[in-house]
Chains A and B, each alone.
Chain A
Amino acid sequence: MTDRPIPHDEGPQTDAVGLRIRAAAQSVEAPPRLRARLAEQRAAADTRRERGAHRARRRLPVVVAAGLAAVAVAVVLAVSGGGASSPSFDQAAQLAISPPTSAAPASDPNDARIVQAAVGGVRFPNYAYQWPRWQAVGTRRDRLIGRDTVSVTYRGPAGDVGYTIVDGAPLKEPSGARHITAGGVRLAVVHRGARTLVTWQRGGHTCVLAGRGPGIEQQLVRFATWA
């Protein structure tokens, strides 16, 4: 679209409108509740930066620990999944609670509600869009008995939450699970020690959310049903 030349005789009138807008805009101030929310966001960002600096100082031990954790996961998967034709829910859950091995995915430039990570066409959500204090902090990619899996770790006020999606047909649901339906989504909730795990299906693939601590189940259900 082209912008046509400005007729000169309209100048004074439009200048007056510009002055009127500037004067009126000065009377508008951000409400205190917005200022408070932004202050919270900045404080959370400061905390993340401090954690990052702390992690950088301890980088070598962390790298070693992550390597050991990866080996441990591989051993667990090999032992518990040996000979099976399909991964088990517990194997997927093990990935959801494992530490990330690569950087956090960026938010999608075309849709701020998702991040740039996916499995079998199923995209990972950007929870920070809805809950600004819950940020994606890392990713890991694994193969689970011939299937691709991607896990994204989100960090928020209640600690870390891991989200794993397993490519391929849905996995068998865990035994002893409690079933609930929220937001039209059927979820299975199960506890493994201190961990709370929520599993459901998206696009025919199994999704697992894992977290720990009091009240985390409610947050996991919110996450699972947010669209």
Chain B
Amino acid sequence: MPPEGRARPLDPQRLGDHVDRLYRAALALCGNTHDAEDLVQETYARVLARPRFLRHDDDLGYLLRVLRNTFINRLRSQRRRPAPVELDDERDGLPRSTDPRHPEAALEASELLAEIARLPGDQRDAVVAVDVVGLSYREAADALRTKEATITTRVHRGRARLARALQAPSPEAKPRKP
């Protein structure tokens, strides 16, 4: 039973509508496809474990918050465990050719999402919510439990940092010191 009159149940049948956007968010958090898929799957397992009632959130904002919390829990768990040996080449990077019709777009997405994964946590979360998932600043503020002005600042700083990172020459292109 909903805890309050205004609460509404999250419809499990509608969860499939958000898979693409959550997967993009997971890629921008994890930085590799293997972990991103696991993260989305674990997020859905959590949400489906029992009926959910939303009061203020829209579905996507709520799912993004669960995804982010799950990601943080996984990071904490991983810190307590020895680093796993990588057995799967797929873990090493993001997809480079998801759409064979537009390989340059896939490469662009790959580079951008990898850079977003390297941002400081607060800026990364804000950029993921606004630019990757497509929430409004207000929705992002609700999803991340912070103020709209704070989201605005973090998005701006995250984008500025990304702009600098994308303009910088790649490590391979830098001249080596003798």
> Chain A interface (Cβ within 8 Å of chain B)?
1, 3-6, 10-11, 13-18, 20-25, 27-31, 33-35, 37-39, 41-42, 44-46, 107, 109-113, 128-129, 132, 135
Contact = CB atoms under 8 A, between A and B. Distances in A.
A34 B19 contact: yes
B77 A14 contact: no
A28 B15 contact: no
**Is chain A's interface secondary structure helix, strand, loop, or mixed overall?**
helix
Interface residues of B, number: 54
Given A25-B132, A27-B99, A27-B108, 9 more contacts: A10-B160, A14-B156, A21-B127, A33-B37, A38-B15, A38-B40, A42-B13, A42-B16, A128-B49
Specify which of B22, B45, B154 lies most central, judged by the most chain A CB atoms within 10 Å of its CB: B45
Contacts, number: 142
Nearest to A39: B16
Contact of A13 (B44, B122, B132, B160): B160
A227 to B, nearest CB: 9
Contacts of A45: 12, 48-49
A39 B19 CA distance: 11
A108 to B, nearest CB: 9
Contact of A24 (B13, B109, B156, B160): B109
B136 interface: no
B64 to A, nearest CB: 13
B7 interface: no
B132 A21 contact: yes
Contact of A29 (B23, B49, B76, B152): B23
A28 B77 CA distance: 28
A20 B165 CA distance: 14
A31 B20 contact: no
Contacts of A11: 156
Interface in B82-132: 95, 98-99, 102, 105-106, 108-109, 112-113, 116, 122, 127, 130-132
Contact of B41 (A13, A20, A132): A132
Contacts of B132: 21-22, 25
B16 A34 contact: no
A189 B44 CA distance: 34
Given A18-B130, A21-B127, A132-B41, A42 B20 contact: no
Interface in B128-178: 130-132, 134, 150, 152-157, 159-160, 162-163, 166
Contacts of A42: 12-13, 15-16, 44, 48
B56 interface: no
B27 A13 contact: no
Contacts of A41: 41, 44-45, 48
